[in-house]
Amino acid sequence: MQIPPLERILLVDDEADIRQIARLALEALGGFQVRECASGLAAPDAVLEFEPQLILMDVMMPGQDGAETLKVLRATAGLPQPPIVFMTAKVQPQEVSTFRHLGALDVIAKPFDPMTLAHTVRRIWESQDR
């Protein structure tokens, strides 16, 4: 089955500066349509409204972290189920393994390079097994 082109990305991160840099990089260099979400708690509503094809999500967020948000998104009936890629400084092999076991498609290390972020996201998207 051919994977459709990636167009819509939901960016979930509690840090406004990170969201701004990532959004600019993804839109300007990748041509993606990006919607920002400032917390894991707000993510289900954003997914329902925006219907992203992919979610880029921070792991360490106050209130509800990325791992818990992933679990909530997956357990919510009727909610679109796009792949989730974590963006985090927690990139030790055992941490990455844990995130993948939870259901993350992949992990992008923070700090990320804004000049290569769109390419990295597109590579992850195109390499998924569907």
- 106, 70 contact by CB (below 8 A): no
Q: What is the pLDDT of residue 129?
A: 64
Q: 8-127: which CATH number, 3.40.50.2300, 3.40.50.450, 3.40.50.300, 3.40.50.1860?
A: 3.40.50.2300
Ramachandran assignment for 110, one of left (phi > 0), alpha (psi -120 to 50 degrees), beta (any other) = beta
List of the chain residues with pLDDT < 50? none
- pTM equals 0.94
What are the angstrom distances between the C-alpha of 16 and each of 63, 90, 125? 16, 19, 24
Instruction: Output the pLDDT for position 125.
Output: 96
Helix (H, G, I), strand (E, B) or coil at 67: helix
96 CB contacts (<8 Å, ≥6 apart)? 107
CB atoms inside a 10 Å sphere around CB 43: 26
Q: Where are the alpha helices (DSSP H) in 3-130?
A: 16-30, 43-50, 66-75, 93-102, 114-127
